[in-house]
Amino acid sequence: MFCLIIGISIGYFHPTDFKVSTTSAIVLTLWLSVLLLATNKPLRNTMGFGLIGYLSFIAIGIFTVSCHNQKQFPTHYSHYINEHIESLTPITFSIREVLKPSQYHNKYIVNIIDVNNKSVKGKLLLNLEKDSLPALTVDGIYKSNVLFKEVPKPLNPNQFDYKSYLKKQYIYHQITCSRPLLFKTQQRRLTLFGLAEKIRNHIILKLKSYNFTPNELSIIKALLLGQRQDINKETYSNYANAGAIHILAVSGLHVGIILLLFSALLKPIEHFKHGKPIKMVLLIGLLWGFAIIAGLSASVTRAVTMFSVVAIAVNLKRPTNIYNTLAVSVFILLLFKPLFLFDVGFQLSYLAVLGIVAIDPLLYKLYQPKYWLLDKLWHTLTVTIAAQFGILPISLFYFHQFPGLFFISNLVIIPVLGLILGLGILVMILSLLNILPSVFVNFYGGIITQMNRFVDWIAKHEEFLFTDLPFNLLYVMAAYIFIITLVRFYIKRNYNTLRLVLIALLFIQLSVIVTDYLKPTNRLVIFHKSRHTLIGHVAKNTIVVAHDLKEKQPTENNIITNYVIGNHINAIKGDTLRSVYLLNKKILLVVDSIGVYHIKSFKPDYVLLRQSPKLNLNRLIDSLQPQQIIADGSNYKSYVAHWKTICEKRKLPFHYTNTMGAFIIDY
């Protein structure tokens, strides 16, 4: 398993030619197969045999990544477009998935069918300008003349890399279009995604005819149909701050509960001849049917795959190891979706399960309640804490916050989640049959409302929500090593396991020292901020922020807080924008809209142009002779284009933050 993960990582970060990866995988796999069949058992335990086995799975991992990367094949649309020429290209595409809309655009993932009447493959991000017309439907086929644009890279340090996120889904370009320029064709392709969309829309239409409030309906759609687009920002934030955000994403928890419900309902089938295998097939079919209705999202797919393997293992009643079961499900998933390895949800799901499997039995044994209800509550608490041990380091790395009351929210919500899901399935069935009583609607809607109110109450205790916690990859490694060694020591208390715990503590100390050593010491950052100027000056573990933003405090700006968290900076101070920054032996001159720069006593190394100053740039260069010209996001684009042309003619470096990102000066 680890070799497959290594192979996938190599294949992603260092792409290999498809023919080379295919040949290597075939040769090594055949070699391993021959050795397995031809050699005896003692030879299989040799180092050479093990090395061939490891290399084979690494090669399979590399091949899997290459095989799924359509960009390597001649039919990919990227071979039929010219990114450097801004011209409209006629394309035909089908809607694959509906995404959460932004402020100005509805967003979709689309499959390209043809470019310039040439049949191609590949996925794009479609930004459709918002209007009053109904949203586009999955599987609908449209034609338009579009401009292909690369997904922009992050322009500021430590900003979320949306380009990399889409790349892991094999999406490399985006197109922007308005409804009048989009022409629907009479053609239609029916796919699983389209079928799922039809079923979901039919269910939602039926539910809307009943007396559910918009907030209740949005939660029902999230819990049962995997659709979170309609959840309002406040509700989503409340669940995140209460440590219950996993409730809103159809994942392992939901699928596990649904598996138990279906297994209980189908239990009478076991009494018939061949009842157990029939029950197993029905269970797996129902699970995958649920996955299709929920849109086959990444979280649903991995959860259903994992529990399908579990269902097979349980119903066959063969002695199985839960770790082997998890490994099989991971192996199957990564073969079909290798880049799931880098998906946050994938990592959180399996780490949570590993935490529960490894740590929950140890915690549960600490106390043995006599009463059934107390026992169930205690076990829910131990499962929640065990899962937190599994996901806490990686969660801090990605989200930089820790909800201190997570155990209370989960202790209340998880026991009733089975009831919510069971009743929810019944609500959907009755609504489809048009026999859903209004009393049941009010009862079920009331449960959802009370759950939302409880989560809101938990979220309001902000003193227990720890935010902006810096946690890097080195800390993640150190934390997991410490957790693993601590669990080993608890299971087997001896000198060797104690020594491992102490080594893990030393590694934690080392990670802190290395992180502190790698912090920026003397640095000036000119951040990109549209229509504004934002400068951060880092010295002595403090960043002094000068800006012309509406926010009074620099801590209110995400650009600054992301940088502070990512670089483990302890303090933030505010300052006014200066005309000159003395950076040891380097000098930065700031020229604003007034355009005054008469300085004769020194020559600046850098000149920052802000707020579109009306000046003669040639004259400025001749008089000051700077080494580089910088323009931030506060300038008019027409001015920037003119300045860039002048600098190119004079062969003077020019940096525009809107296209090249933040400008960093280390001194």
Q: Is the pLDDT confidence value at 281 over 70?
A: yes
Residue 252 and residue 352 in contact, taking contact as beta carbons nearer than 8 Å: yes
Give the pLDDT of residue 42. Answer: 57
Average pLDDT value for residue range 521-545: 94
Q: How far apart are CA 341 and CA 347, in angstroms?
A: 7
Take residue 6 and report the two structure tokens written for it.
């290594």
Q: Is 526 exposed, middle or buried (0-12, 13-18, 19+ CB in 10 A)?
A: buried
Read off the DSSP letter of residue 317: T
Q: Is the pLDDT confidence value at 159 over 90?
A: yes
Q: pLDDT-derived band of residue 41, with 50, 70 and 90 as boundaries?
A: low
Read off the DSSP letter of residue 327: H
Give the C-alpha distances (Å, rounded to integers) separating 188 from 98, 540, 621, 636: 17, 62, 60, 44
pLDDT in tens, 637-652: 999 999 999 999 999 9
Q: pLDDT-derived band of residue 91, with 50, 70 and 90 as boundaries?
A: very high
Strand, coil or helix: what is 186? Answer: strand
Give the pLDDT of residue 605. Answer: 94
**More reliable by pLDDT, 31 or 503:** 503
Q: Is the pLDDT confidence value at 319 over 60?
A: no
Q: How far apart are CA 341 and CA 339, in angstroms?
A: 5
Q: How far apart are CA 535 and CA 632, in angstroms?
A: 10
Q: pLDDT-derived band of residue 489, with 50, 70 and 90 as boundaries?
A: very high
- Give the residue from 128, 101, 125, 98 showing the smallest Cα distance to 112: 125
pLDDT in tens, 323-369: 877 888 888 889 888 998 998 888 888 898 899 989 999 999 998 88
Give the pLDDT of residue 478. Answer: 96
Q: Is the pLDDT confidence value at 155 over 80?
A: yes
Q: Is the pLDDT confidence value at 523 over 90?
A: yes
- Sheet of 663-666, strands arranged across: 571-575, 542-547, 532-539, 523-529, 663-666
Share of the chain above pLDDT 70, in %: 96
CATH topology of domain 77-189: OB fold (Dihydrolipoamide Acetyltransferase, E2P) (2.40.50)
Give the pLDDT of residue 43. Answer: 55
Give the C-alpha distances (Å, rounded to integers) separating 364 from 47, 215, 356, 360, 361: 41, 37, 11, 6, 5
Take residue 296 and report the two structure tokens written for it.
């086959």
Q: How far apart are CA 235 and CA 358, in angstroms?
A: 33
Paired with 523 in beta bridges are 538, 666
Residue 662 and residue 155 in contact, taking contact as beta carbons nearer than 8 Å: yes
Give the pLDDT of residue 499. Answer: 94
Pick the most confident of 72-81, 362-371, 507-516: 507-516
Q: How far apart are CA 439 and CA 428, in angstroms?
A: 15
Strand, coil or helix: what is 107? Answer: strand
Give the pLDDT of residue 390. Answer: 92
Q: How far apart are CA 427 and CA 91, in angstroms?
A: 42
Give the C-alpha distances (Å, rounded to integers) separating 74 from 25, 62, 77, 123, 227: 22, 20, 8, 15, 35
Average pLDDT value for residue range 75-103: 87
Query: How is 492-555 classified by DSSP, letter by letter?
Result: S-SHHHHHHHHHHHHHHHHHHHHHHHHS--SEEEEEEETTEEEEEEEETTEEEEEE--S-SSGG
- Give the residue from 400, 539, 554, 442 showing the smallest Cα distance to 213: 442
Q: Which residues contact 115 (CB under 8 A, 6 or more apart)?
A: 77, 80, 81, 89, 90, 91
Give the pLDDT of residue 598. Answer: 65
**More reliable by pLDDT, 439 or 319:** 439
Angle in degrees, 0-180, between the axes of helices 252-265 and 298-316, rounded to the nearest 10: 40
Q: How many CA atoms lie within 13 A of 652 on its CB side?
A: 23
Q: How many CA atoms lie within 13 A of 287 on its CB side?
A: 31
Q: Is the pLDDT confidence value at 83 over 90?
A: no
Residue 666 and residue 157 in contact, taking contact as beta carbons nearer than 8 Å: no
For β-strands 586-591 and 606-609, DSSP reports them as parallel
Strand, coil or helix: what is 556? Answer: helix
pLDDT in tens, 162-199: 999 999 999 999 999 998 889 988 777 778 888 888 88
- Give the residue from 548, 558, 551, 552 showing the smallest Cα distance to 578: 548
- Give the residue from 315, 259, 329, 310 showing the smallest Cα distance to 287: 259
Read off the DSSP letter of residue 337: -
Assign residue 651 a region: left if phi > 0, alpha if psi is -120 to 50, beta otherwise? left
Q: How far apart are CA 658 and CA 631, in angstroms?
A: 9
Q: Is the pLDDT confidence value at 315 over 70?
A: no
Read off the DSSP letter of residue 121: B
Give the pLDDT of residue 318. Answer: 59
Q: How far apart are CA 439 and CA 373, in angstroms?
A: 28
- Give the residue from 556, 574, 575, 558 showing the smallest Cα distance to 566: 558
Give the pLDDT of residue 298. Answer: 72
Q: Where are the domains of the chain?
A: 2-68, 77-189, 252-337, 473-518, 523-666
pLDDT in tens, 110-124: 999 999 989 999 999
Give the pLDDT of residue 106. Answer: 92
Q: Is the pLDDT confidence value at 293 over 60?
A: yes
φ and ψ of 104, to 5 deg: -115, -10
Looking at every residue in the chain, the average pLDDT score rounds to 88
Q: Is 68 exposed, middle or buried (0-12, 13-18, 19+ CB in 10 A)?
A: middle
Q: pLDDT-derived band of residue 560, with 50, 70 and 90 as boundaries?
A: very high
Average pLDDT value for residue range 205-218: 89
Is pTM beyond 0.95 here? Answer: no
Q: Is the pLDDT confidence value at 269 over 70?
A: yes
Residue 579 and residue 606 in contact, taking contact as beta carbons nearer than 8 Å: no
**More reliable by pLDDT, 546 or 45:** 546
Give the pLDDT of residue 10. Answer: 92
Give the pLDDT of residue 533. Answer: 95
Q: How far apart are CA 393 and CA 94, in angstroms?
A: 40
